[in-house]
Amino acid sequence: MLTQVKAVLGKRLIGFYLYGSLSLGDFDPLSSDIDILVVTSETLPPEVLARLQHMHTALACSGHTYAHRLEGSYIPREALRRYDPGHAQHPTIGTDWPFRVDQHDSNRVIEYFIEREQGVVAWGPPPRTLIDPISAQHLREAVCHQLRNFWQIRMDDRAWLRPRKYQAFAILTLYRALYTLHHAIPVSRPQAAARAQQIYPHWRPVIEQAVAWRSEQEDDEVAAQATISFLHEAITLALHGCEGDS
């Protein structure tokens, strides 16, 4: 992919980075996505976006093991410096959406932190030279924004939570949110879950189930109801840590 991105972007390419589970040390070959960040010198014109779209379509048809597990963004160097919701429309590709230009929400602040502090350089300068430091307060505010504007809406969505892998994703992500609120540093979901088992022993069965289900595709209506009950408890607890944050 790096070779093809270089061919499409040419001098517009500033850097190519890996983040997420690949940089946090908990990559699971059966369930993890390949998280990438491509930094460009400028906002990409329509003809370049068309070439990237063609590239991603061809990659999806390649038969490669990870061809459908790619998630990431193409972000101009100026916009990468710090997250600005008014300048956050960037090209993106994901496991649940095709290549397109779309709004990036406050979760980008958390991703910027991971990319800056633990991103893996595939090509280009160190990510610390491209992303400004992110304060503990800004990190917590981003987590709180996600809790209020994403998870509170999702926590009763039975259709979305029916597959076991999405239940696992929701449970482990909530543990990571709790950890980040308390410690002001994102860690991998399994790392946060291991810590949560010590602090919240009554959640141990739910945690162990979530870790085991990261790659489970089948639906599970009974477990979904238990997951929803957990989400209500965890989100309420997390939002207590957000009191006073805007």
pLDDT in tens, 164-202: 988 998 998 898 898 999 899 888 888 888 888 888 888
For the chain, how long is the longest CA-to-CA vector? 55
In angstroms, what CA-CA distances link 187 with 30, 98, 108, 124, 160? 20, 27, 15, 24, 25
pLDDT given for residue 225 in this prediction: 85
* Residue pLDDT, tens place only, 66-81: 889 999 999 999 999 9
CA 221, 222, 228, 231 torsion-angle sign? negative
The pLDDT, as a whole number, for residue 198 is 86
Per-run averaged pLDDT (10 residues), the chain, 246 residues: 97 97 86 94 98 96 91 97 96 94 95 95 98 96 93 87 90 90 87 85 88 88 86 89 71
Question: Which sign, positive or negative, has the C-alpha torsion 137, 153, 166, 172?
Answer: positive
